[in-house]
Amino acid sequence: MADHLTDTNVGNIEYIRKADAIDALEAKKDKSAKGDIGCFYNTIIQNAIDALNGLPSADVAPVVRCENCVHWSDSNQCARPELSGSRWHDAKYFETMPDDFCSYGERREE
């Protein structure tokens, strides 16, 4: 799986991909279940899968943190040319923290 698809940590909230949760539950089903207890167990798991399928997906978008952006330097400065003289200020560079982000972020190739 591509890293950008599994990187689901946004702030202090960790998002779980619905498909991954369903796959994990499917793996827990007892394929050889017999009798009332086995059927009951699989029914509970199927009910959980159905509940997950009924939930809307989270409205999240991947972000590029400043520390991973092509415009950021280790001296905590952003050099995004479009922002010079913009609403930020007239300086060529402006200070950001490593875990900041903006809508202009472009992921740096590692």
pLDDT for 93-106, tens place per residue?
678 888 888 888 88
What is the pLDDT at residue 4?
43
**Does this model's pTM top 0.95?**
no
Cα 98 from Cα 74, distance rounded (Å):
9
What is the pLDDT at residue 58?
75
In which residue are the tokens 């400065």 written? 77
Residue 42: name the closest of 32, 30, 54, 50 by CA.
30
- Separation of CA 58 from chain center: 10
Residue 101's DSSP bridge partners are: 65
pLDDT for 54-65, tens place per residue?
998 777 778 889
Residue 53: name the closest of 26, 86, 32, 81 by CA.
26
Whole-number average pLDDT of the chain? 78
Interval 42-48 mean pLDDT? 93
The SS3 call for residue 50 is helix
